[in-house]
Structure 1
């Protein structure tokens, strides 16, 4: 977050939620909170199915270890998917990759696609040799150990997404951001196939398993100083997760429609100025125990949501009505107060630093407070405040609030580069408050939390949340 001196009244984008609980002509189809893009929310194991035989694909330079076997199995499975989908969707035959290659970034290295691999903690596709290569020394073990096998599946599916682009004839001069977000989208399409139980080798749960995938996308996002049109740009976490969800929800045909114009229209990564300015803004962490910052947050919420009744007040009194563990903010409907654990909010609002413990970042803390404010908005609109639908509506309205403080809008509180990525990180935690009801009970699937937040942010329309989540 960044703060500016002074305050000019925002032009309100808000529409009163009152009456949205009833059927509205042209309203969006309500979302079922027990499902993820039409699939039931599950929390079973993700990764190789028990008893599956290894695909035994040849791996150039491999050591025959478990990581190389897992990677080769993932490649075999993704290629199986594309043997079905490329003819069905694009009327093209899928030609298997020419080479799979493994290397150890910590070792002496080798030359692949004309580049040395020593110190290269990465996975990549090389069109000139039609090869997918991966680092078995650090990257894949780190993803497997810290996140899970679903993260390894996603990384390999992404690289084969580039091979699909090559087979579809995507021009080599296509901007990096288009190639990368198409590949993220193709990854989502593949994992939808796995989640539907169609893979003979792998499984992925739509709850914990997809959370692992989204966590992987978060960890390999662009830094705050990178603009979407920079050479080599992949996208920030918010935009990469969006692309993945497009593929998971709508399939590979949607992915091929991602182009520079489409990304420019929805990207939250560009438009913040120079890389140096981006880095400075991202480094300015605003503390919620700063009285002026708390006043700016309150003002931004009152400007975003035009309540007919008295707006809720912020206090550090005792929490009420919360059943979830470690809820750092709570809304008391009877007293119309938002009670804050400022110490805890400052802790979660402190970004992690190398060698030191930290939380997530300032926007995560500010958005948690904003989410409790939206409960007052929902109460005025006549909505229930408890249950999974209320939790999704809360995430949506919090996303809408975020849209009112984007760069370029006049106000003291302004989104900084990386802020929306902090929202992604918060929504992937076990007890996300951004996507929680009045009792602090969160939507079980991170995928659904992020989708609801993005609905509010992308629409820039408060009424969308009342129509879609009712």
Structure 2
């Protein structure tokens, strides 16, 4: 771009990085691989043990699902499974140089082969996002194997996001208890954070032969598969679902990476949110919008009170009795900006405007539902910015902004906040619902209810 009902987000860790979403490793994938899966490479390495277990389970899953989707039997992948050490080789089929596999995983239709970088890619992802990201990577590659068997044709980006959708469908099967894996909400948050890290560079043309989709596109497709099953993925076609890969405009936007300055964000976002809600609130609730009295960046050493109560343990909040939004403008919010960018900050402020909407509407939901509804309203506002449907709007969305928004919800979280706010996965789901379906949907049932 160029919480409790009274307070909101508790104080967050001082250093916020993408890997913070994952924390300690889960026990996912700690079992031994199926004896039927032979891996070329170091089969005893931890990442390859998990990969072999994933391969066995994916063959099981698709032998069940493929006939239901396509009306014919599933042919297992038989060309081999290659755990590659690019620095020493040997190279797997379909690779002509170490650079073809370094930092990569792929399915090669010509040889019916699945290969992965067991030296760099998988260990790095595992360290950052936990064990479950490894089977998710394999589930994505199996999506390409399914496409080969189904004769699917389309742009590269369409194939990639459909494979993400198929991976989400398999993950739902895991969560349902049908798999040898066991995935928690923490594991799913790690998987989504992994998708954000593997997104296209902002400004990538969606017709580019190597385009995989923005972080939002990839997360959106994963959640589509997870929520609706593989049948929803089968219907993908070029343009359906829409791929939100925005170009930089103008060239100066590219030079800045699409980032407004911190001072611009905290000044412009509240003005635009007021503009949005002054138009949308009356249409939703049949009453005029009451402006938020103040959006206040404060020094936590001199934190303002809310209704006479101290707020020193909070980094971001909406104060219901005094009708203002407060945020730590000395430490936490500037760090959010440094780590996540301008639209991450705007999104966090938008969630608090969502809480203000609920207060005006008399919504007495529990804290978790209120927080998710606020996330949904933030998504609805983002849709208005994206569509540029308000001539009075003072900001415009740049490439990568939606990825920044998801990072704000998925990664920039208070410690032990799942019960109060929902998991990162459910927060992203609520935001996506508002973005895709508008503010009206946010007045209904929230994810997980």
TM category, shorter: 0.7 to 0.9
Per chain length, whose mean CA-contact separation is higher, i.e. which structure has more relative contact order (CA < 8 Å, sep 6+)? 1
How far apart in 1 are the matches of 2:419 and 2:342? 22
In the alignment, what sits opposite 2:10?
none
The one of 106, 112, 116 aligned to 1:124: 106
Q: Does the CA-based 8 Å contact 1:272-1:407 persist in structure 2?
A: no
Change (3 A) 1:293 1:137: closer
2:449 counterpart of 1:463:
no
How far apart in 2 are the matches of 1:122 and 1:144? 14
Deviations 1:292-321 (A, max 9, x none): 543422221111112625311222352648
Change (3 A) 1:46 1:245: farther
In the alignment, what sits opposite 1:145?
127
How far apart in 1 are the matches of 2:140 and 2:310? 39
Instruction: Give the Å deviation of 1:430.
Output: 6.4
Aligned length: 406
Q: Does the CA-based 8 Å contact 1:46-1:209 persist in structure 2?
A: no
Deviations 1:116-175 (A, max 9, x none): 22472110010000000001111111112221111001001100110000001113xx21
In the alignment, what sits opposite 1:340?
327
How far apart in 1 are the matches of 2:233 and 2:312? 39
Instruction: Give the Å deviation of 1:328.
Output: 2.4
More helix by share: 2
Instruction: Give the Å deviation of 1:58.
Output: 1.7
In the alignment, what sits opposite 1:100?
81
Deviations 1:56-83 (A, max 9, x none): 5222344642322221221111111101
The one of 197, 219, 222 aligned to 1:241: 219
Instruction: Give the Å deviation of 1:348.
Output: 3.1
What is the TM-score with the length of structure 1 in the denominator? Answer: 0.79
Where 2:274 maps in the other structure, the secondary structure is helix
Deviations 1:314-372 (A, max 9, x none): 22352648999964221111111112211235423434xxxxxxx22121112111211
The one of 246, 264, 267 aligned to 1:270: 246
151-160 or 81-90, which moves further after superposition?
81-90
Unaligned runs of 5+ in 2: 3-23, 282-287
Instruction: Give the Å deviation of 1:187.
Output: 0.2
How far apart in 1 are the matches of 2:422 and 2:320? 24
Q: Does the CA-based 8 Å contact 1:323-1:441 persist in structure 2?
A: no
Instruction: Give the Å deviation of 1:55.
Output: 3.4
Q: Once superposed, what is the RMSD of the aligned Cα atoms?
A: 2.8
In the alignment, what sits opposite 1:406?
386
Unaligned runs of 5+ in 1: 3-42, 352-358
Where 2:39 maps in the other structure, the secondary structure is coil
How far apart in 1 are the matches of 2:440 and 2:211? 34
Q: Does the CA-based 8 Å contact 1:319-1:329 persist in structure 2?
A: no
How far apart in 1 are the matches of 2:138 and 2:359? 46
What is the TM-score with the length of structure 2 in the denominator? Answer: 0.83
In the alignment, what sits opposite 2:138?
156
Deviations 1:219-273 (A, max 9, x none): 1111102122221111111110110011111111110111112133xx3223555
Q: Does the CA-based 8 Å contact 1:159-1:183 persist in structure 2?
A: yes
The one of 166, 169, 182 aligned to 1:203: 182
Instruction: Give the Å deviation of 1:278.
Output: 6.1
Change (3 A) 1:153 1:80: same
Instruction: Give the Å deviation of 1:381.
Output: 1.2
